[in-house]
């Protein structure tokens, strides 16, 4: 069994690493999913919080006449970000933990490479990366009513869209049936359905599988000048002939045969980051004689304007 001296040394390294990198690690816990970096961020979500959004219209009037007549409209959204408080609790056997730690230190000393990732960083970042993949799907497909496992912990964007379609909150004219159309045909019809004022600012979102099929559809249509552009691991192209419209493959939509169009600034991701709702810690517990990991964070999703949501499904 590892000596208490070994445990003390490793516990000290873990504490030092966490102390020096706490803010960065909390940021990774909250933003390690790809979609979390695409959506409109709102912080300070500790309780149900109204989305901070104002849409204004301006009506011109004849300036040659006297008097004051108020015209135009300013609409504040009544949509709410409701936080889901989520945690990860793990524990590690000291013997396994310490053996790995020792091997990591020996390797770094033997190779003399300063760029090798220290063990304390490896164990935390490996878990944060896995957490990012789970949160990515949760942002879109989480369902506190019908979900199971990880997907039951928060309501995702598409879950909210489905409910709003059923309840006619999203206009029926914004919802198109996919029928037997190819993915590319579905994209075209969805784009044509957009309000002209929105078309140049919309993003079309689909699963990575549908995105790949769309590329095949385009090449089968002899549009060989279209290519797959991957930026920071994301699938993205500009829609041919539609200036300002981007098409993205979203990993969180994987498994759903749905295509969504909306301005990206209409989609919101709520977090705290202004209090004590987020935490990343890894420490040795003398009571249980095990190493324990704790990750805590807030997830909240919604969209500001339902009328700006268009769906092909």
Instruction: Give the integer Cα–Cα distance in Å for 6 and 105.
Output: 12
- For the chain, the structural domain boundaries read 4-56+74-312
Q: Assess contact for 186 and 177: CB atoms under 8 A.
A: no
Side-chain half-sphere CA neighbours of 215 within 13 A: 16
Nearest to 301 by CA among 169, 54, 136: 136
- Beta pairing class for 279-285 and 80-81: unpaired
Instruction: Give the integer Cα–Cα distance in Å for 31 and 128.
Output: 10
How many Å from the N-terminal Cα to the C-terminal Cα in the chain? 58
Instruction: Give the integer Cα–Cα distance in Å for 178 and 226.
Output: 23
What would the pLDDT profile of 145-167 be if each residue is shown by its tens digit? 999 999 999 999 999 999 999 99
Selected residue with higher pLDDT from 263 and 12:
263
The pLDDT score that the predictor gives to residue 1 is 46
What would the pLDDT profile of 67-79 be if each residue is shown by its tens digit? 777 776 666 677 9
Query: Which of the four pLDDT bands, split at 50, 70 and 90, describes residue 108?
Result: very low
Residue 95 has pLDDT above 90, yes or no: no
What would the pLDDT profile of 35-58 be if each residue is shown by its tens digit? 999 999 999 999 999 997 777 667
The pLDDT score that the predictor gives to residue 47 is 94
Give percent above pLDDT 70 in the chain: 87
What would the pLDDT profile of 193-242 be if each residue is shown by its tens digit? 999 888 888 999 999 999 999 989 988 887 666 665 555 566 898 888 77
Q: Return all residues near 4 (Cβ < 8 A) that are at least 6 apart.
A: none
Instruction: Give the integer Cα–Cα distance in Å for 102 and 94.
Output: 12
Please state the pTM of the whole predicted model.
Answer: 0.84
Long-range CB pairs of 37-42 (<8 Å, 24+ gap) are: 38/248, 38/264, 38/267, 39/139, 39/264, 39/267, 39/268, 39/269, 39/301, 40/264, 40/265, 40/266, 40/267, 40/268, 40/269, 40/304, 41/268, 41/269, 41/271, 42/81, 42/268, 42/269, 42/270, 42/271
């Amino acid at each position: 069994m590892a000596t208490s001296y070994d445990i003390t040394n490793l516990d000290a390294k873990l504490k030092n690493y966490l102390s020096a990198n706490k803010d960065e690690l909390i940021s990774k816990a909250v933003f390690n999913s790809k979609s979390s970096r695409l959506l409109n961020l709102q912080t300070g979500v500790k309780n149900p919080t109204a989305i901070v959004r104002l849409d204004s219209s301006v009506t011109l009037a004849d300036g040659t006449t006297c008097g004051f007549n108020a015209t135009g409209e300013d609409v504040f959204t009544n949509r709410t970000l409701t936080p889901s408080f989520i945690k990860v609790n793990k524990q590690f056997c000291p013997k396994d933990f310490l053996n790995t730690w020792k091997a990591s230190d020996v390797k770094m000393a033997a190779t003399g490479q300063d760029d090798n990732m220290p063990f304390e960083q490896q164990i935390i970042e490996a878990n944060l990366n896995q957490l990012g993949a789970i949160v990515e799907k949760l942002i879109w497909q989480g369902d506190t009513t019908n979900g199971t496992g990880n997907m039951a912990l928060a309501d995702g964007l598409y879950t909210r869209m489905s409910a709003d379609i059923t309840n006619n909150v999203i206009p029926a004219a914004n919802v198109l049936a996919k029928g037997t159309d190819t993915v590319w045909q579905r994209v075209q019809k969805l784009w044509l359905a957009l309000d002209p004022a929105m078309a140049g600012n919309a993003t079309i979102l689909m699963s990575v599988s549908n995105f790949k099929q769309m590329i095949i559809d385009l090449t089968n249509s002899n549009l060989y000048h279209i290519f797959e552009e991957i930026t920071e691991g994301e699938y993205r192209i500009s829609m041919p002939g539609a200036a300002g419209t981007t098409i993205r493959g979203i990993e969180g939509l994987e498994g759903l045969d749905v295509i969504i169009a909306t301005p990206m600034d209409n989609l919101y991701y709520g977090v705290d980051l202004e209090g004590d709702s987020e935490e990343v810690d890894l420490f040795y517990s003398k009571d249980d004689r095990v190493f324990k990991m704790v990750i805590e964070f807030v997830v909240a999703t919604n969209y500001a304007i339902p009328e700006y949501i268009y769906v092909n499904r």
